[in-house]
Amino acid sequence: MKKGLCSILANTIVSLLFIFPALCCAEPTTIPADSKSSPGKAVEEPAIKEGRPITSDQVMSKKHPPFGRGMVCVECHKVTFDAITSSTKQYLNNYPQLKNEAVWKKIEVFLPGRERFALSTVYNNEPTATTVDMVLDKNEKVFYVVCEKGTEKLYQIKKNPKICAVHYAGWTVAGGGKKEWKSVQVRGTAEVIPSGDPRYSIIIDKYHLARLSKERAVLRFDLIRITPSAIVYFDTNLTDEKAGIYQRWERNK
């Protein structure tokens, strides 16, 4: 009888050891920044422990077990993503966020002049991605693009002003160096400004043309004014500031 009881107790303890991580991984509360058991702890080989399924808008419990630096939820949990709550949103929910204006200052530093972006436009449910030079107007918090007249993206913007744009810098396999990354993901609306618009002359001066005169630009280019509604700033160095590597700036925040 005693032997049977011991066997039952042993099996119960083993079961609890497997269940415990799943019970404490997804309570709707944030984890304190100064928690001694806070996740993200650097380890040589992070342990994978299966947790219970979670939704992508949940945040970590104070009881969440420590996990290896760089690990993400999907390594231990089955997560349902959708168009609103995404993997990036999980970072924004679970790691310290800077104030809106502080995020903007970092965006300004990252985009000091004419920077190369991939710009995405959509027409008839078909996306088009092109590379463009974008200039940030720090006062207006908008971007300007010079674009050849008659191009596909100008036509698409006139039909559908919603755009996305991305600028990236950092480590690559070919380039080597320190493994650091930075990027901005811009979401917003675009407006085509033709050369006959009274705003054209002022904006073209802000763009700082490099290869041709202003007189020729009027004949050759239209302008695009991009008003971002939100920008996700990504910077792996933000861990040094005890902040999340993903930060979100919002225009109306």
The 10s digit of each residue's pLDDT in 35-81 is 333 444 444 567 788 888 988 788 888 888 888 777 888 888 888 87
- What is the rounded distance in angstroms from the CA atom of residue 93 to the CA atom of residue 31? 10
Comparing C-alpha atoms, which of 25, 29, 30 is closest to residue 74?
25
Comparing C-alpha atoms, which of 224, 249, 199 is closest to residue 143?
224
Give the lowest-confidence range in 5-14, 182-191, 225-234, 241-250.
Answer: 5-14
State residue 84's pLDDT score.
66
pLDDT above 70 (res 250): yes
- Predicted structure pTM score: 0.75
Thinking of the domain 100-250, which architecture would CATH place it in? Roll (2.30)
CA distances to 115, 174, 251 from 119, in Å: 12, 24, 19
State residue 133's pLDDT score.
96
| Tens digit of each residue's pLDDT (9 = 90 or more) over 189-234 | 999 999 999 999 999 999 888 888 999 999 999 999 999 999 999 9
Q: Where are the domains of the chain?
A: 2-94, 100-250
- Read off the pLDDT of each residue in 144-161 and give the average, rounded to a whole number: 96
State residue 33's pLDDT score.
37
Residue 155, judged by CB atoms within 10 A of its CB (0-12, 13-18, 19+), counts as middle
